[in-house]
Structure 1
C-alpha cells in the first residue's frame, strides 16, 4: 500500500511541474496611493503593487528646507568684519575712489588683486570674465 502511494507521488510530481506556467506577467504596475484611493485589481496578465504615498515626500529635514537666515544675528563674525572693512575702504586712502582723501591711491592695488584673482581662476580651470 505504501509502495503504491510512493509510486503515485513520484508519477504526479512531474505532472504538477508541467501544469505550472513559468512565464512572467506582461505588465507590472507600481502605484502610489494618495489619501482615500484604493488599489486597483490585478488581472491575469499584470501584477499591481500599491503603496501609500508618504505625507512627508521630502528627504531633507524641515529645519534645512527653509531659506537661510540673513539677519545680523545669524551672520558670522568674519563676514561682518569683511563688510565693515569694505564699507570703510570706499572713502579711505587706497580705496580707488574719487571720493575722500587720497582715494585714487588704491587703484593699482585693486588692479593687482584682480590680476591675481584671474590667474588663480585660470589655474583652477575656471572661466575668466574679461570685464
Structure 2
C-alpha cells in the first residue's frame, strides 16, 4: 500500500513540474515577426520578405553548395592544436579541489560550469558558421528605418482628410443654417 502511494506521489510531482513546460509549447517567440533564415549560394537570389515575415539570407560561395557544412568537417584534429594549448593542458594535470572541475577533492565539481562557459564562449567567437542573430538584427534595423518615413506620409494624408472633412462639415452646417433661416422668415 505504501508503494502505491509513493508511486502516485512521484507521478503527481513529475506532472506538476511538466505542466508549465506543456503550457509554453504554443507561446510566441521573441517579437511578433516571423523569421525565415535561408542560406543562398553563389548568385542565387534571396527570396523577398512578405508581410510580417523577415527573410534573412546568408550568402556563401558557390563551391560550398554540396559540401558538408564547415562546423561538421572534422573539428577535433589533434595535429591542428597549438603547442601553447598542449602546455596549458599539462599545467592542469595535478589540479584538484575547489574550482578545478575534477572528481578528486572537496568541491572539485565547482569549476565545471565555468569551464563549460569558457569553452562555449571560445567556440562562439571562433566559429565560422553564419551568425543569423546578427543578420536578423540588421534586417530589423533596416525595416525600422523606413517606419518613420511611412508614418510621416500617413500623418500628412490623415491631416489632409481631416481638413477636407471639416470643410465639408462647415459647408453642410452653413447650408442647413441657410435653409433654416429661409423657412423661419415671414
**Higher helix share goes to which structure?**
2
TM tier relative to shorter chain: under 0.3
Q: TM-score, normalised by structure 1?
A: 0.26
Which structure's relative contact order is higher, taking Cα pairs within 8 Å and 6+ residues apart?
Answer: 2
